């Protein structure tokens, strides 16, 4: 198949580009480089032996998207392009709605004009909001707490309305839990600008000596050891989930939503222990106040993806830390 990856030079998209190319698909990437480096393309070439087709541009440029869809005879789109920093979305909601919601509408209009009606969308576990029960299954109420999470839910609703309006649309929204780790070559991985917000990139920088110590945001949560619990998922497992979703979506009309998580929750202390083993480095830490907006614990019910996509995550927390460490050392 000929597949367009919007935002395909970013963290998740670049790993999906590897998995799909290795599965025999022709991958085309559209990215405006607002949160990635063009070097990722060379690194993809090193891993794959050839670089995917690449267009620098914005997903909101409908004419450009239409020309790519036609030129590359695209069959399906995987839509990663968007902004993802929860805190920034609170400060700059218009920027988030414009890019994440406006960008998707523009992309869908281009697809409709070109009669391409198959799309996989990068949604997020943040659509669920404060847990009413755990693990979150796909039926859990959706009450996102930030403009970022709301933008993801709004796109899901638009996709549902679109598929209700025209039964030819084939749409899957994937609700990612906490993607971590890197390709085992150490050539691609997560490359946050400035001081990382997320736990594992921060821990990696402490292990390598770039940052002095980890600040653990609270040890008094109602969790087994008091620190926050999350469903970390290896980015290569997540990438393989996209290959399964692509097969599913090409055979099923309508709108479907799937959690992509492991179904296991790990605490901050467990992550620190696993990263210490993976890196053989000390990870100094201190306990500080809770971070505003954090939830004590959340993790996925991953059964629906297993049943309908035939996919489940294979790599454990230690492997996630080993690959995150390899990436931190090599890049
Ligand atoms: P990322 O920032 O690394 O990748 C997104 C890519 O999209 C970047 O390369 C950026 O340059 C590009 N981009 C952004 N706006 C664009 C636009 N208007 N036009 C063209 N390109 C644009 O993020 P990621 O971690 O790879 O996430 C990919 C998707 O998955 C995002 O939609 C994100 O919201 C979603 N997601 C990520 C996580 C996570 O923790 N990483 C969790 C849940 C959902
Ligand atoms: N944590 C620390 N110290 C840090 C960073 C994080 O103790 O320096 C703790 C947090 O309090 C939390 C856990 O580590 O308990 C994980 O935090 P992350 O920031 O890595 O992940 P979150 O679950 O808070 O957020 C992530 C993405 C969001 C997304 C959300 C839901 O960053 O974009 O998952 O999908 F919305």
Q: Tell me whether residue 225 is in a domain.
A: no
For residue 86, with 0-12 CB atoms within 10 Å meaning exposed, 13-18 middle and 19 or more buried, which class applies? middle
Q: Which atom of ligand 1 is nearest to the CA of 191?
A: 3
What is d(CA 241, CA 173) in angstroms, rounded to the nearest whole number? 12
What is d(CA 60, CA 110) in angstroms, rounded to the nearest whole number? 10
* CA 82 to chain CA mean position, Å: 10
Q: Tell me whether residue 192 is in a domain.
A: no
Most distant pair of Cα atoms in the chain: their distance? 56
Report the DSSP beta bridge partners of residue 29: 5, 54
Encoded tokens for 183: 């390709």
What is d(CA 143, CA 298) in angstroms, rounded to the nearest whole number? 14
Considering 148, 176, 221, 266, which one is annotated as catalytic?
148
Query: H or E element: which one contains 122?
Result: strand 118-124
| 173 neighbors 162 (Cβ within 8 angstroms) | no
Which runs of E-coded beta strand occur in 7-45? 26-31
Q: Write down the pLDDT at residue 64.
A: 98
Contacts of 281 (CB under 8 A, 6+ apart): 207, 208
Evaluate: CB of 242 within 6 angstroms of ligand 1.
no
148 tagged catalytic: yes
Helix axis angle, 199-208 to 268-279, nearest 10°: 40
| Burial state string for 140-160 with b = 16 or more CB within 10 A and e = fewer than 16 | bebebbbbbbbbbbbbbebbb
Question: Peptide bond preceding 168: is omega within 30 degrees of 0, i.e. cis?
Answer: no
Which runs of E-coded beta strand occur in 183-240? 214-217, 229-230, 232-234
Q: Write down the pLDDT at residue 192.
A: 85
**What pTM was estimated for this model as a whole?**
0.98
Which ligand is nearest to the Cα of residue 226, counting in written order? Answer: 2
Q: Which of 88, 199, 203 to mutate to test the pocket of ligand 2 (most atoms within 8 A of CB)?
A: 199
Encoded tokens for 315: 């790599």
Q: Tell me whether residue 20 is in a domain.
A: yes
Digit-coded pLDDT (tens) for 143-200: 999 999 999 999 999 999 999 999 999 999 999 999 999 999 999 999 888 899 999 9
Pocket of ligand 2 (CB under 6 A): 84, 86, 124-126, 178, 197-199, 202, 214-217, 228, 230, 268, 291, 294
Q: Write down the pLDDT at residue 244.
A: 98
Supply the range of the domain harboring residue 242.
Answer: 2-180+234-261
Count of residues for the chain? 331
Q: Tell me whether residue 194 is in a domain.
A: no
Which ligand is nearest to the Cα of residue 188, counting in written order? Answer: 1
Q: Tell me whether residue 35 is in a domain.
A: yes
What is d(CA 181, CA 278) in angstroms, rounded to the nearest whole number? 12
CA 114 to centroid of ligand 1, rounded, Å: 24
Digit-coded pLDDT (tens) for 96-130: 999 999 999 999 999 999 999 999 999 999 999 99
Q: Tell me whether residue 62 is in a domain.
A: yes
Q: Tell me whether residue 293 is in a domain.
A: no
Q: Which of 197, 198, 229 to mutate to test the pocket of ligand 2 (most atoms within 8 A of CB)?
A: 198
Evaluate: CB of 234 within 6 angstroms of ligand 1.
no
Q: How many folded domains does the chain comprise?
A: 1
CA 110 to centroid of ligand 2, rounded, Å: 34
How big is the CA angle at 113 (ends 109 and 117), to the nearest 5 degrees?
A: 75
Report the DSSP beta bridge partners of residue 215: 286
CATH assignment at residue 243: 3.40.50.720
Q: Write down the pLDDT at residue 292.
A: 87
Q: Write down the pLDDT at residue 194.
A: 87
Q: Which residues of the chain have pLDDT under 50?
A: none
Q: Which of 125, 223, 130 is nearest to 177 (CA)?
A: 125
Q: Tell me whether residue 276 is in a domain.
A: no
């Amino acid at each position: 198949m000929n597949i367009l990856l919007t935002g395909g030079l970013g963290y998740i998209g670049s790993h999906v580009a590897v998995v799909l190319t290795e599965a025999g698909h022709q991958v085309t990437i559209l990215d405006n480089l607002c949160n990635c480096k063009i070097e990722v393309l060379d690194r993809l070439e090193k891993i794959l032996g050839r670089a995917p087709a690449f267009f620098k541009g914005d997903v909101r440029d409908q004419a450009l998207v239409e020309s790519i869809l036609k030129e590359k005879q695209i069959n399906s789109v995987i839509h990663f392009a968007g902004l993802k920093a929860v805190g920034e979305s609170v400060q700059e909601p218009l920027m988030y709605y414009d890019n994440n919601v406006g960008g998707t509408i523009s992309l869908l209009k281009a697809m409709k004009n070109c009669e391409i009606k198959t799309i996989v969308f990068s949604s997020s576990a943040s659509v669920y909001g404060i847990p009413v029960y755990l693990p979150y299954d796909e039926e859990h109420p959706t009450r996102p707490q930030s403009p970022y999470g709301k933008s993801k839910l709004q796109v899901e609703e638009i996709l549902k309305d679109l598929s209700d309006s025209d039964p030819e649309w084939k749409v899957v929204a994937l609700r990612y839990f906490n993607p971590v780790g890197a390709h085992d070559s150490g050539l691609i991985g997560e490359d946050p600008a400035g001081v990382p917000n997320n736990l594992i990139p921060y821990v990696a920088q402490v292990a390598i000596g770039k940052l002095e110590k980890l600040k653990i945001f609270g040890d008094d949560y109602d969790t087994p050891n008091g620190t926050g619990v999350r469903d970390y998922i290896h980015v290569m497992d997540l990438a393989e989930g996209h290959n399964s979703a692509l097969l599913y979506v090409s055979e099923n009309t309508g709108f479907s939503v799937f959690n992509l998580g492991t179904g296991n929750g790990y605490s901050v202390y467990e992550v620190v222990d696993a990263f210490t083993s993976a890196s053989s480095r000390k990870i100094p830490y201190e306990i500080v106040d809770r971070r505003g907006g954090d939830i004590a614990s959340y993790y996925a019910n991953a059964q629906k993806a297993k049943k309908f996509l035939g996919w489940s995550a294979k790599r454990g927390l230690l492997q996630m830390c080993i690959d995150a460490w390899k990436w931190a050392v090599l890049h």
